[in-house]
Homo-oligomer: A and B are copies of this chain.
């Protein structure tokens, strides 16, 4: 129960995939659309696990398999179409590609987006109690950056 023009938007999706050497398949479209639909239902950005995406996407595409969901989520994340959030429990993916932080509640475990301009102080004003924070930077360490590329061994 949720598809926009099914023409312009889908073309854009196909383009983005092609730009990363990925083919536009019905499975990937179904998987990606789960995030759009969830956002519409939740009002806010959803953070979905592979299993949740699988269950939802299967509604539109019953023959979809888990392996395909895992593959597609990894590919979409690598292509920059989805964001990947590591944490306790399964990995979660979100469609919010813009720079943002995440806040996880110790009790309900719910994950919420935090815009970059709202840090701990602002959060506290909104009723969040920040107990710990963790920053993970990723890229190339000096050793690997010095090596031309992981060609030979």
In A128-153, the 8 Å CB interface with B consists of 128-147, 150
B105 x A129 contact (CB < 8 A): no
Whether A4 sits at the interface, judged by CB under 8 Å, is: no
User: CB within 8 A of A136: which of B127, B134, B138, B141?
Assistant: B134
In A99-126, the 8 Å CB interface with B consists of 101-108, 110, 112, 114, 120, 123, 126
Give every chain B residue within 8 A of A108 (Cβ-Cβ).
141, 143-144
Residue in A88, A120, A136, A150 whose Cβ sees the most chain B Cβ within 10 Å? A136
Range for the number of chain A residues in contact with chain B: 35 or more
CA–CA, A105 and B146, complex, Å:
12
A137 x B110 contact (CB < 8 A): no
A137 x B150 contact (CB < 8 A): no
User: CB within 8 A of A137: which of B104, B138, B141, B146?
Assistant: B104
Q: Which residues of A contact B (CB under 8 A)?
A: 85-88, 101-108, 110, 112, 114, 120, 123, 126-147, 150
20 contacts between A and B (CB under 8 A): A101-B136, A103-B136, A103-B139, A105-B140, A105-B144, A106-B138, A106-B140, A107-B144, A110-B141, A114-B135, A123-B137, A127-B142, A128-B141, A129-B139, A129-B140, A131-B139, A131-B140, A133-B135, A133-B137, A133-B138
